[in-house]
Chain A
Amino acid sequence: QKEVEQNSGPLSVPEGAIASLNCTYSDRGSQSFFWYRQYSGKSPELIMSIYSNGDKEDGRFTAQLNKASQYVSLLIRDSQPSDSATYLCAANPGANNLFFGTGTRLTVIP
């Protein structure tokens, strides 16, 4: 079964801190991984994609992938109240589909 698991949270961090969001996946054949941000009542927005082991940085966001451990993470540096949202992790097992986790709700406290 192709599962993606995330801690549902809520995760609370103070403004300016680093938020760390984690995700594990069960299908070792997964090659592509994505992080989406979903504000309450809105649709998911793609914020990061990662395909190779290691880190990928984009502004305040860093995605980390460890295929041996089947682990993906998203770090948000200098967290802002506007980062408060639910973050969805997704994995692609090589077909046309993505498998999504249920999301981690992040609250950044001013």
Chain B
Amino acid sequence: SQTIHQWPATLVQPVGSPLSLECTVEGTSNPNLYWYRQAAGRGLQLLFYSVGIGQISSEVPQNLSASRPQDRQFILSSKKLLLSDSGFYLCAWGQTSYEQYFGPGTRLTVT
């Protein structure tokens, strides 16, 4: 069966610091991978998605970036965090059925 991991689970970072969140998927190959952000009391905002190694599509212009160095690894980064970057970051994977399955998430607080 497929499993998706995210770490860290919780992160508190000061404004202006860098960020790196990691997501890995097990039990499948060539998945579509997604990064979402959910701000408090808000809906899911798609940030990036990837259909293959090195292929990244950005949905929202901002100070975040994503990379996919391996088939089942997806990384979300920032060089300098803003207060508005606080939120619940969710990685998801999916394939041809269009269903998406979410990881446990990382709760980021920027102070």
* Chain A: interface size category: 10 to 19
Which residues of B sit under 8 angstroms from A97, Cβ to Cβ?
34, 46, 49, 59
Min C-beta distance of A25 to chain B, whole Å? 14
Is the pair B98, A98 in contact by a Cβ cutoff of 8 Å? yes
- Inter-chain CA distance A42–B100, complex, in Å, is 16
Is B87 an interface residue, CB under 8 A from the partner?
Answer: no
Is A69 an interface residue, CB under 8 A from the partner?
Answer: no
- For chain B, residues 35 to 81, give those with C-beta under 8 angstroms from any C-beta of chain A: 42-44, 46, 49, 51, 59
Is the pair B46, A45 in contact by a Cβ cutoff of 8 Å? no
* Chain B: interface size category: 20 to 34
Nearest A residue to B90 via CB reads: A43
Partner of A45, one of B49, B59, B98, B102: B102
Which residues of B sit under 8 angstroms from A42, Cβ to Cβ?
104-105
Which residues of A sit under 8 angstroms from B98, Cβ to Cβ?
32, 92, 96, 98
Is B30 an interface residue, CB under 8 A from the partner?
Answer: no
- Inter-chain CA distance A39–B34, complex, in Å, is 20
Is the pair B101, A96 in contact by a Cβ cutoff of 8 Å? no
Is the pair A43, B100 in contact by a Cβ cutoff of 8 Å? no
Given contacts A96-B49, A96-B51, A97-B49, whether A102 and B42 have CB atoms under 8 Å apart is: yes
- For chain B, residues 79 to 111, give those with C-beta under 8 angstroms from any C-beta of chain A: 88, 90, 94, 97-105
Given contacts A32-B98, A43-B103, A46-B101, whether A101 and B43 have CB atoms under 8 Å apart is: yes
Is A87 an interface residue, CB under 8 A from the partner?
Answer: no
Given contacts A96-B32, A101-B43, A102-B42, whether A44 and B102 have CB atoms under 8 Å apart is: yes
Question: What are 11 A-B pairs with beta-carbon distances under 8 A?
Answer: A44-B44, A44-B102, A45-B102, A46-B99, A46-B101, A49-B97, A96-B98, A98-B46, A100-B44, A102-B43, A103-B43
Besides A42-B104, A98-B100, 16 new A-B residue pairs in contact (Cβ under 8 A), listed by A number: A32-B99, A42-B105, A44-B90, A44-B102, A46-B100, A88-B43, A88-B44, A92-B98, A96-B32, A96-B94, A97-B46, A97-B49, A98-B98, A100-B44, A102-B42, A102-B43
